[in-house]
């Protein structure tokens, strides 16, 4: 999930050296090299050929389709088969993003300056966006390297698999294959309608999850030819991608397609069992659509709207694009007794994820880049009312504001603290109710350099630079320090180890304890890793834990036994 809050300054951005490597140089293979170890690969639909990268020994295959186009009569339908091609497709350019507003985060806004300033990493959007990328360090097709399938975030209404923070060549060089995938977002991926359900055999609203399942099936059927092991697959995601990862744990059709799960900044945790019913969501959407257009709209009517009009035309009292107006209506993930059932969405049942290892965590300043701004304030009365509503009595022992500026920042921190504690409660619950699952948790507390770092701190999505080891000393990126690079190498090594065998630990690394009865986790701060049982503010941990247990009807016995 990302927004468009502005930084204090906007910097001019040119085409960086990394961008040239990611785009132009990869396409042209600028220096003579020996034949690549994984060269032409036969996949579902035809043959593809990869290109070299900025890291020796790592190849990249861009924009490989795992499903067919999703426009016209196939709009809102489950993913269709790949359209075959002839000859060898040179996989040297990013595939289209799925239909969305690609100007949602322009340069001059926080996210535009952070992730979206370089056109070499920004594809066009279309209804032909069900594709994926493969970063492989395999030296031979028989290597059987572990596989990491990555699901991007973006609030389930935007995002794509080629964002620069996912530039995974250094991560792949640690002996894994990284596969960032795309899925339909907004109404194209989540719209429920009775007419659509009738057409699709009683199911609608979960098209995005069906896309992800099809991508996993593609990995199962094809990844061995890239040197990967289809029997050793980890799924991971951040923000909405983390939520989607947790949702895949609840989808019967995804069972057996992956063996581990990584969830970064999952605002929903894993103890929530509330999903809307299909019939309820169908009626809500139909009523909302009629209000937006001033008349009922058939499925044929919605399919007849050109893709560009979904993004560019405004509708409704809030003057939103058709796409975003629908996104406010649609609801995400519905119990349709096909993709999800009442039983499958309940991860509290004993053994619900037994045998699937989990790595879960959050950032210490999740809300600064989502809700915040360095100059914002909050009155002390409003702060007190918010805290009382959230926590009830006793909150002053953990959160005491001194002035309006401090109150605003403390309110944002309390939301981030709550997200962290939800991750810890989820981790403990999963560890203690699934005896064959190894569960690890973390707290990312590294302040990134530059761009109002005193306020933004460890903001939402900032850990991606480190877990992917995607930071480069390039114009446009932050002025990374030695501590940042050290942290990135360490965190990506922990991640690669977890992807390899379900245990992040390895030689030369501080011991990362498993979660169990005790809420043990790894704190990443100041370029180092610390095994801890609390954040630097244990009183805040305690008050947020109390709130979460009450919200979900749990107690300490239920979580730890």
The predicted structure's pLDDT at residue 8: 34
Of residues 12, 62, 115, 61, the one with CA closest to residue 475: 12
Question: What are the Cα distances from residue 45, in Å, to 72, 83, 135, 216, 349?
Answer: 21, 6, 19, 16, 40
- Which residue in this structure is represented by tokens 């914002």? 376
The predicted structure's pLDDT at residue 242: 97
Cα separation, 115 vs 238, whole angstroms: 14
Question: What are the Cα distances from residue 270, in Å, to 137, 419, 429, 452?
Answer: 33, 12, 8, 33
Q: Are 541 and 534 in contact (CB under 8 A)?
A: yes
- pTM for the whole structure: 0.93
Strand order across the 46-49 sheet: 40-43, 46-49, 88-90
Structure tokens at 70: 């999703």
Q: Are 95 and 151 in contact (CB under 8 A)?
A: no
Structure tokens at 341: 């059932």
* Regions of the chain short of the pLDDT cut 70: 1-36
The predicted structure's pLDDT at residue 372: 83
Cα separation, 136 vs 113, whole angstroms: 29
Could you please report the per-residue DSSP string of 11-74?
Answer: ------HHHHIIIIIHHHT-S--PPPSS-EEEETTEEEE-EE-SSTT-EEEEEEESS---SGGG
Q: Are 237 and 150 in contact (CB under 8 A)?
A: yes
Secondary structure of residue 500 in the 3-state scheme: helix
Measured N-to-C along each axis, helices 322-330 and 278-293 cross at an angle, to the nearest 10 degrees, of 150
The predicted structure's pLDDT at residue 37: 73
Dump pLDDT digits (tens) for 343-373.
Answer: 999 999 999 999 999 999 999 999 999 998 9
**CB neighbour list of residue 211: distance below 8 Å, 6 or more residues apart:** 67, 79, 130, 182, 183, 184, 189
Of residues 505, 400, 387, the one with CA closest to residue 442: 505
Of residues 331, 361, 388, 405, the one with CA closest to residue 263: 361
**Which sign, positive or negative, has the C-alpha torsion 453, 160, 190, 186?**
positive
- Extended strands (E) in 422-552: 439-444, 521-525, 528-532
């Amino acid at each position: 999930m990302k927004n468009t809050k502005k930084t204090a300054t906007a910097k001019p951005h040119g085409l960086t050296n990394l961008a040239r490597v990611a785009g132009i140089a990869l396409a042209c293979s600028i220096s003579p090299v020996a034949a690549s170890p994984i060269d032409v690969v036969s996949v579902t639909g035809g043959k593809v050929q990869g290109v070299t990268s900025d890291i020796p020994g790592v190849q990249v295959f861009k924009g490989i389709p795992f499903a067919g186009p999703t426009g016209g009569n196939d709009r809102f339908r489950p993913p269709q088969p790949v359209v075959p091609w002839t000859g060898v497709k040179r996989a040297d350019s990013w595939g289209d993003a799925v239909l969305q507003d690609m100007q949602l985060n322009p340069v001059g806004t926080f996210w535009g300056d952070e992730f979206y300033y370089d056109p070499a990493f920004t594809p066009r959007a279309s209804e032909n966006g069900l594709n994926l990328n493969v970063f492989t360090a395999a030296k031979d097709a028989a290597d059987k390297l572990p596989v990491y399938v990555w699901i991007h975030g973006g609030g389930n209404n935007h995002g794509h698999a080629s964002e620069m923070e996912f530039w995974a060549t250094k991560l792949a060089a640690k002996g894994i294959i990284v596969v960032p995938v795309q899925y339909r977002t907004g109404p194209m991926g989540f719209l429920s309608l009775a007419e659509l359900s009738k057409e699709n055999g009683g199911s609608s609203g979960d098209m995005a999850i069906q896309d992800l399942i099809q991508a996993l099936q593609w990995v199962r059927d094809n990844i061995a030819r890239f040197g990967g092991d289809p029997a050793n697959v980890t799924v991971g995601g951040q923000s909405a991608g983390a939520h989607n990862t947790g949702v895949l744990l609840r989808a019967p059709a995804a069972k057996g397609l992956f063996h581990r799960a990584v969830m970064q900044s999952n605002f929903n945790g894993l103890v929530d069992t509330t999903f809307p019913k299909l019939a309820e969501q169908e009626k809500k959407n139909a009523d909302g659509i009629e209000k937006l257009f001033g008349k009922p709209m058939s499925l044929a009517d919605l399919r007849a709207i050109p893709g560009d009009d979904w993004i560019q035309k405004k509708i409704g009292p809030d003057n939103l694009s058709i796409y975003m107006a629908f996104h406010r209506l649609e609801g995400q993930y519905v119990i349709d007794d096909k993709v999800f059932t009442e039983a499958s969405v309940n991860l509290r049942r004993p053994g619900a994820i037994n045998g699937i290892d989990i790595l879960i965590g959050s950032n210490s300043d999740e809300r600064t880049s989502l809700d915040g701004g360095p100059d914002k304030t909050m009155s002390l009365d409003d702060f007190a009312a918010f805290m009382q509503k959230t926590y009830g009595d006793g909150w002053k022992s953990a959160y005491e504001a001194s002035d309006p500026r401090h109150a605003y920042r403390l309110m944002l921190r309390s939301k981030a603290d709550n997200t962290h504690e939800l991750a810890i409660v989820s981790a403990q619950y999963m560890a203690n109710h699934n005896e064959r699952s190894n569960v690890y948790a973390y707290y990312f507390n590294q302040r990134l350099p530059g761009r109002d770092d005193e306020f933004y701190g460890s903001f939402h999505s900032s850990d991606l630079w480190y877990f992917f080891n995607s930071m480069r000393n390039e114009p446009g990126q932050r002025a990374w320090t030695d501590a940042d690079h050290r942290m990135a190498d360490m965190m990506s090594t922990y991640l690669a180890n977890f992807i390899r065998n379900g245990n992040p630990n390895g030689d030369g690394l501080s011991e990362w304890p498993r979660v169990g009865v005790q809420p043990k986790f790894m704190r990443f701060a100041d370029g180092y890793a610390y095994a801890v049982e609390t954040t630097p503010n244990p009183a805040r941990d305690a008050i947020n834990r109390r709130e979460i247990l009450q919200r979900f009807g749990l107690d300490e016995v239920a979580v730890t036994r």
